[in-house]
């Protein structure tokens, strides 16, 4: 479908994004754009199947947005190469750009300030864009959005692709396809029956989505089969919010990825491995009190608990999704079994912000039994393969697009070294975070804020009560 035709479908969102572009300046989108970028004196963890250990004393040459050379040895600069920029990384580690493939860009959970109550779509659009660009700063160069209001993920995808802003690559699914009462009864007015499901999937495709997301638990067999059939006929893949006992059925009917996979059984794991079904466990959202405490203690010992705002918010998010000890253990063991069976695991945080929660998900994969290298592959190569772009992204190899993250320390030795980001390169462009973000961050949505005095203060006073949010 023509890009501008898709823009017509969601013209209100694009108008907002264009307005933001005019305010911020179009030059922000390209960062440090150079014809030739040379990264030398570095170690490479390429996440390919060919190399298990870091490649040492390496040089990467990027021309435009592609990696054109990877050689051993330090680069010998030629004085005549005026169009090149050579960066000595001083033995830092280069990994592929990170991915987070279970994202809801605008979501706030929990929402202590009730921001989403009656919220304007325009407000959600702004927050979604901030979340995406903040995620890029953290090294997440690719994301898959698995459910959004008003197709704002499609709008931001196109805005990033056209260079209006510098953000991650987005694989969008628009709105979810669900029967009435899907997602534990949350969805009203869904698509019921084969004809309605077929129409709903085609409507998503018409709006330019990259993926179809279904709420398979409440769907009948013929409804799941129809969703898969229509999506695959049109070259799209299907992600399924899933729990047993229906997960086995949906894998058998051909869904491409299982999201969450609550209560995953051994027979389902075997079938997933056989059929090549990807697993996005969102393990960071399936933690017991014990696991949350262990995680925070570990991060404090490593020195990643210095910002009280971040610690408070990520802990609040964890407890909003707290699970029983039995459930958390089951999910952990199921993840281990899936990895041993050869199921391809992918990183997806579900909660926001996608940067910090993406880090937590990668770390939690290791705490749940994967090796650090397996966790890195789950955050890079597997996600690129899931989204059908492994030929272009997901590993550090010649000919691939230059989506890279530079880390000061080795994440194979300690997975939390993914937090020690020195540089992010997306599509051959060095990301300059100070150029396009304000003073506020996503964490500010999770910290209790007071409302401005004025009409609300007067109204509450007249009504004889106070919610404790009035700024005096």
Give the C-alpha separation, 48 to 381, whole Å: 7
Q: Is the peptide bond before 245 cis (omega within 30 degrees of 0)?
A: yes
Residue 72 shares a structural domain with residue 187: no
Dmax (CA) for the chain in angstroms is 77
Which residue do the tokens 């953000």 mark?
Answer: 167
Instruction: State the CATH number of the domain containing residue 415.
Output: 2.30.40.10
Give residues with Cβ within 8 angstroms of 384, minimum separation 6: 96, 99, 142, 390, 392, 393, 394, 395
Residue 205 shares a structural domain with residue 240: yes
Strands 404-407 and 278-280: what pairing? unpaired
Which three-class secondary structure state does DSSP give residue 169? strand
Residue 182 shares a structural domain with residue 117: yes
CB 312 within 8 A of CB 306: no
Structural tokens at position 384: 């690129």
Task: Name the DSSP letter for residue 288.
Answer: -
Task: Name the DSSP letter for residue 181.
Answer: T
The answer to whether residue 411 is domain-embedded is yes
Residue 146 shares a structural domain with residue 90: no
Domain that holds residue 401: 31-96+395-438
Give the C-alpha separation, 375 to 364, whole Å: 9
Residue 65 shares a structural domain with residue 152: no
Q: How many CA atoms lie within 13 A of 121 on its CB side?
A: 15
The answer to whether residue 125 is domain-embedded is yes
Q: Is the dihedral of CA 345, 351, 355, 361 positive or negative?
A: negative
Residue 103 shares a structural domain with residue 198: yes
Residue 122 shares a structural domain with residue 192: yes
The answer to whether residue 465 is domain-embedded is no
Asked which of 375, 394, 413 is the last residue of a domain, the reply is 394
Residue 390 shares a structural domain with residue 401: no
The answer to whether residue 466 is domain-embedded is no
Strand partners, 61: 38, 69
Q: Which long-range contacts (CB under 8 A, 24 or more apart) does 29-32 make?
A: 29/163, 29/164, 29/165, 29/166, 30/163, 30/166, 30/429, 31/166, 31/429, 31/430, 31/431, 31/432, 31/435, 32/85, 32/429, 32/430, 32/432
The answer to whether residue 149 is domain-embedded is yes
Instruction: State the CATH number of the domain containing residue 115.
Output: 3.20.20.140
Write down the H helix ranges in 25-96.
none
The answer to whether residue 127 is domain-embedded is yes
Residue 382 shares a structural domain with residue 412: no
Residue 79 shares a structural domain with residue 108: no
Residue 369 shares a structural domain with residue 314: yes
The answer to whether residue 279 is domain-embedded is yes
How many domains would you assign to the chain?
2
Per-residue pLDDT of the chain (472 residues; tens, 9 = 90+): 444 444 444 555 555 555 555 444 443 444 455 589 999 999 999 999 999 999 999 999 999 999 999 999 999 876 556 678 999 999 999 999 999 999 999 999 999 989 999 999 999 999 999 999 999 999 999 999 999 999 999 999 999 999 999 999 999 999 999 999 998 888 888 999 999 999 999 999 999 999 999 999 999 999 999 999 999 999 999 999 999 999 999 999 999 999 999 999 999 999 999 999 999 999 999 999 999 999 999 999 999 999 999 999 999 999 999 999 999 999 999 999 999 999 999 999 999 999 999 999 999 999 999 999 999 999 999 999 999 999 999 999 999 999 999 999 999 999 999 999 999 999 999 998 655 556 667 777 777 655 445 655 666 566 665 554 434 3
Residue 83 shares a structural domain with residue 199: no
Asked which of 366, 394, 422 is the last residue of a domain, the reply is 394
């Amino acid at each position: 479908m023509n890009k501008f035709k898709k823009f017509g479908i969601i013209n209100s969102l694009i108008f907002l994004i264009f307005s933001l572009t005019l305010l911020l300046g179009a030059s922000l989108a390209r960062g440090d754009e150079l014809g030739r970028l040379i990264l030398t004196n570095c170690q490479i963890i390429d996440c390919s199947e060919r190399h298990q250990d870091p490649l040492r004393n390496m040089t990467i040459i990027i021309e435009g947005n592609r990696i054109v050379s990877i050689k051993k040895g330090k680069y010998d600069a030629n004085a005549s190469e005026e169009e090149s920029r050579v960066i000595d990384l001083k033995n830092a580690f280069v990994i592929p750009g990170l991915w987070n493939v279970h994202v809801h860009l605008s979501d706030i959970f929990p929402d202590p300030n009730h921001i989403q109550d009656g919220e304007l779509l325009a407000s959600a659009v702004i927050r979604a864009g901030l979340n995406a660009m903040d995620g890029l700063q953290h090294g997440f160069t690719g994301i898959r959005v698995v459910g959004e209001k008003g197709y704002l993920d499609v709008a931001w995808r196109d805005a990033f692709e056209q260079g209006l802003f510098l953000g991650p690559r987005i694989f969008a699914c628009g709105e979810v396809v669900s029967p009435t009462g899907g997602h534990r009864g949350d969805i009203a007015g869904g698509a019921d029956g084969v004809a309605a499901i077929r129409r709903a999937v085609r409507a998503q495709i018409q709006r330019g989505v990259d993926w179809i997301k279904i709420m398979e638990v409440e769907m009948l067999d013929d409804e799941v089969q129809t969703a898969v059939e229509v999506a695959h006929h049109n070259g799209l893949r299907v992600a399924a919010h899933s729990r047993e006992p229906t997960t086995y059925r949906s894998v058998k009917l051909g869904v491409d990825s299982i999201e969450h996979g609550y209560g995953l059984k051994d027979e389902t794991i075997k079938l997933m491995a056989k059929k090549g079904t990807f697993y996005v466990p969102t393990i960071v959202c399936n933690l017991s009190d014990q696991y949350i405490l262990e995680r925070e203690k570990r991060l404090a010992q490593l020195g990643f608990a210095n910002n009280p705002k971040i610690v408070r918010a990520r802990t609040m998010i964890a407890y909003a999704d707290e699970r029983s000890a039995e459930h958390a253990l089951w999910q952990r063991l199921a993840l281990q079994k899936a990895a041993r069976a050869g199921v391809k695991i992918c990183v997806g945080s579900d909660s926001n912000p996608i940067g910090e929660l993406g880090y937590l998900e990668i770390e939690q994969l290791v705490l749940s039994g994967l090796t650090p290298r397996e966790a890195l592959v789950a955050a890079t190569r597997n996600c690129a393969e899931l989204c059908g772009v492994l030929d272009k992204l997901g590993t550090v190899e010649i000919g691939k697009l230059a989506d890279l993250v530079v880390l000061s320390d080795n994440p194979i030795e300690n997975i939390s070294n993914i937090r020690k980001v020195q540089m992010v390169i997306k599509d051959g462009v060095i990301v300059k975070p100070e150029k396009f973000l304000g003073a506020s961050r996503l964490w500010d949505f999770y910290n209790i804020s007071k409302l401005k005095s004025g009409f609300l203060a007067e109204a509450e006073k007249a009504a004889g009560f106070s919610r404790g949010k009035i700024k005096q």
